[in-house]
Amino acid sequence: MTNDSLTPPVGHVALIGNFPPRKCGIATFTADLREALVTTDPDLRISTVAVTDEGQKHAYPPAVGYEISQHEADDYAAAADHINALNPDAVSIQHEFGIFGGEAGEYLLKLTERLRAPIVTTLHTVLVNPTADQRTRDWNFPAEKIAVIPHGIPDVPFLDPAFQKHNFGLDGRKVALTFGLLSPNKGIENMIDALPALSQAHPDIIYVVLGATHPHLVAREGEAYRERLQAQAEALGVADHLMFVNEYVDAPILKAWLSAADIYVTPYLNEAQITSGTLSYAVGLGKAVVSTPYWHARELLANDAGALVPFGDPKALASTIGDLLTDSGRRDRLRSNAYDLGRQMIWPVVGRAYLDLLSDARSGGRAPAPVSNLRVGRRIPLVSTLTAVDRMMDGCGMLQHSRSTIPDRRHGYCLDDNARAMMLAVELKSEGIETERAARIADTCAAFVDSAWDEDRAAFRNFMGYQRNWLEDTGSEDSHGRAVWALGRVVANTDDHGLKLWVTGLTDRVIPASAQLTSPRAMAFTILGLINWLTVYPGHRPARQLLDTFAAKLHEKLREQRRSDWLWFEPVLAYDNARLPEALIRAGQRLGQDDMVRDGLAALDWLADLQTDPAGHFRPVGTESFGKVYSRPLPFDQQPVDAWAMIDASTMAFDVTGDSKWQRHAEAAFDWFNGRNDLGLRLASPNGGGYDGLQVDRVNLNQGAESILAFQFSVRSIRQLQRLAQGRAEPMVAGAAE
């Protein structure tokens, strides 16, 4: 499978990191990224998870919906379960050493190992020489899994430093600035050592160190480190050229300080600084930057966007900064180059890049099986049960949708599901399976189908709200056709005399009204229902006439549309595709039309080939393909109803031809439920239900009515296939394998 055309947009992202009012750069970045994402796509839903440092309680804003205590191992697994329940399309994790609990932050793995959605991790530090504990996370990712997105910055105007200096009492001073949480790894000592030479050449120089002391450092030693730096400046006689601003400043104040700076300095000590938000901000505001050559600086300041000096070299700092203060032409050139570069780093651009990356991750992601319910290779019991169906029932009928296993009342009911549930319950009852429950479900669903029929309009309605109000005057043609299909099968299979009287009376009125149908699927479903009806009432003239008419029309559609590379009834593919050739083959058998049987088998063969992955597993036509004229199908989202249709049609074709290839196609379609699919994930639940589909990156764990019914009917069909194969004395080839 290729993902070139699979870039579905993300509609829901889980964002994990620190968050304000926690005072650290990762918190600021996470908040800025969140704002950029929602600004880029206002419809995007973001679920934010904040990691809280030990002993702290932060008054997070409403944007933070979940909190992890940094050193509580169980919090990480619980957070993963919570995120899985929210079912985001992708997860964005901000990674920095020291913000997650456990050795080298290993508790994060308790979260990532359980997540279902694809993960995009932003690495804020990459180590050259990791410790043994840190090295356990060296997973040797291939290059194609790595993307480079610049650190985002605000979009601000290009201002002369003098514009803001008066706000800080710095008029007439040359300002060198370093910003960030104060800690020993920033190299401030080297810049202070450079001040004697700098101040001698430029008596108006002042070095501003902007930012509060890192909270973890304060917790260990208070302000001792800042006091040592102050003492160093006093000993060198440059205390008047050093200014500490011991504040955690917000974005507007930071931008004002950066605007006031003539030179921005990052004298960091460690090469392994993969990204620096402060450096990005300085470049974006068009500052002349002097930096040691850590990774981010070496890359960002190339092409004359800044100046680099060796690590731990105060003389080089003094010389380079002094030259820039003297040479205004070069300083302005660096500023202009930096500002131009910064336009590629503003948050709107970065937000769009993140959304594209998250979408790509969703398209190409292959999530591991998240819970024991979804595990490839475990045998699905071929047991018919109404347990999952009954869970979706109430006194009115079968509800359409669910959230996980809980019926979602907001979407009400539909004729489609109730007609199929009636059909299933009748057939199980006639076989003596769960007879009491089957009878109750059959009666309830029959009452729903009866109420769906509008005698005045001679048409079915499909959708009913939970308040039992019909939401339309007339339902779709396809829902009408499925109702006829169900009514025909109920007539043919019920052992309940009262139910048979009702269904016969209703169907006798429905059949003539069905002649107005024109949709190929509506005609196909009607054909399947009429064939069942005629096994009970072979002399029913309206049914016989309608079968003749619809079979001829369906056959004609195939003849009109087929081309050398397109052997199909329509110029597009949609849902329940296999029902079209199944209906044509069954009609041809009933009517003695060998050409219908032959052409129907050829169309089914073409579809089966189209729905077989090169690796050999079943891949139903995805909903992304719907409406694409004469186009090869896209694989996602894959729906259980299509697997059921292929199992039914292939089982029927095996019965007609005896060709074992149809046995293999049916078994492959059933094994799709068992995890033999594009993601290797199971689509059947342990209680006899079915999950709602295979998305590009995961299983949709909701269990709606259609999915439950599709799986239960698939079980019945695969059991029929087994009986047919045994009757032909041929061994099973693959079906429902261990």
Confidence at 371, pLDDT banded by 50, 70, 90: very low
Do 734 and 671 form a contact (C-beta atoms < 8 A)?
yes
Question: Taking the CB of residue 379, how many other CB atoms lie within 10 A of it?
Answer: 9
Q: Return the C-alpha torsion angle 481, 485, 487, 492, nearest 10.
A: 160
- Whether pLDDT at 370 is above 80: no
pLDDT at 144: 81
Render pLDDT for 612-666 as a digit per residue (tens, 0 to 9). Answer: 998 899 999 998 888 899 998 888 889 999 999 999 999 999 999 999 999 999 9
Q: 3-state class of 305 per DSSP? A: coil
Do 527 and 482 form a contact (C-beta atoms < 8 A)?
no
DSSP-assigned states of every residue in 472-517: -SS--HHHHHHHHHHHHHHHHH---HHHHHHHHHHHHHHHHHGGG-
Q: 3-state class of 363 per DSSP? A: helix
Q: Which among 681, 692, 689, 691 is positioned nearest to 116, based on CA atoms?
A: 681
Render pLDDT for 479-526 as a digit per residue (tens, 0 to 9). Answer: 999 999 999 999 999 999 999 999 999 999 999 999 999 999 999 999
Render pLDDT for 319-329 as a digit per residue (tens, 0 to 9). Answer: 999 999 999 99
pLDDT at 3: 38
pLDDT at 685: 87
Do 445 and 503 form a contact (C-beta atoms < 8 A)?
no
pLDDT at 364: 66
Confidence at 731, pLDDT banded by 50, 70, 90: very low
Residues forming a β-bridge with 266: 291
In this structure, what DSSP letter does residue 123 have? E
Among 134-138, 363-367, 505-509, 554-558, the range scoring the smallest mean pLDDT is 363-367
- Start-to-end CA distance of the chain, whole Å, equals 25
Residues forming a β-bridge with 119: 91
Q: Which residues contact 162 (CB under 8 A, 6 or more apart)?
A: 171
CA dist., res. 673 & res. 693, Å (int):
10
Q: Which residues contact 269 (CB under 8 A, 6 or more apart)?
A: 185, 186, 187, 190, 292, 311, 312
pLDDT at 274: 63
Q: Tell me if the pTM is above 0.85.
A: no
pLDDT at 372: 34
Ordered structural domains, the chain, with CATH: 12-152+352-364 (3.40.50), 162-344 (3.40.50.2000), 387-727 (1.50.10.10)
Confidence at 303, pLDDT banded by 50, 70, 90: confident
Render pLDDT for 123-140 as a digit per residue (tens, 0 to 9). Answer: 988 777 788 888 776 667
Residue indicated by tokens 């997973």: 139
- Whether pLDDT at 156 is above 60: yes
Do 400 and 411 form a contact (C-beta atoms < 8 A)?
yes
CA dist., res. 721 & res. 717, Å (int):
6
Q: Which two tokens stand for residue 120?
A: 């995009």
CA dist., res. 423 & res. 491, Å (int):
9
The H or E element spanning position 120 is: strand 119-123
Q: Which among 91, 16, 87 is positioned nearest to 52, based on CA atoms?
A: 16
CA dist., res. 218 & res. 653, Å (int):
76
Cβ-count burial 228-241 (b if 16+ within 10 Å, e if not): ebbebbeebebeeb
Among 159-163, 202-206, 355-359, 564-568, the range scoring the smallest mean pLDDT is 159-163
Integer angstrom CA distances of residue 22 from 27, 46, 186: 6, 19, 20
Q: Which among 579, 598, 597 is positioned nearest to 588, based on CA atoms?
A: 597
- Whether pLDDT at 734 is above 50: no
- Whether pLDDT at 459 is above 80: yes
Higher pLDDT, 364 or 360: 360
Question: Taking the CB of residue 385, how many other CB atoms lie within 10 A of it?
Answer: 17
In this structure, what DSSP letter does residue 131 have? -
Q: Which two tokens stand for residue 705?
A: 């009515």
CA 557, distance to chain mean position in Å, is: 38
Do 649 and 655 form a contact (C-beta atoms < 8 A)?
no
Residue indicated by tokens 């131009």: 340
Integer angstrom CA distances of residue 257 from 163, 175, 240, 242: 11, 10, 19, 15
Summary mean pLDDT of the chain? 91
Q: For residue 284, with 0-12 CB atoms within 10 Å meaning exposed, 13-18 middle and 19 or more buried, which class applies?
A: buried
- Whether pLDDT at 445 is above 70: yes
Do 136 and 103 form a contact (C-beta atoms < 8 A)?
no
- Whether pLDDT at 378 is above 60: no
Render pLDDT for 55-68 as a digit per residue (tens, 0 to 9). Answer: 899 999 999 999 99
The pairing of strands 307-308 and 463-464 is: unpaired
Do 506 and 487 form a contact (C-beta atoms < 8 A)?
yes
Render pLDDT for 79-116 as a digit per residue (tens, 0 to 9). Answer: 999 998 888 999 999 999 889 999 989 999 999 999 98
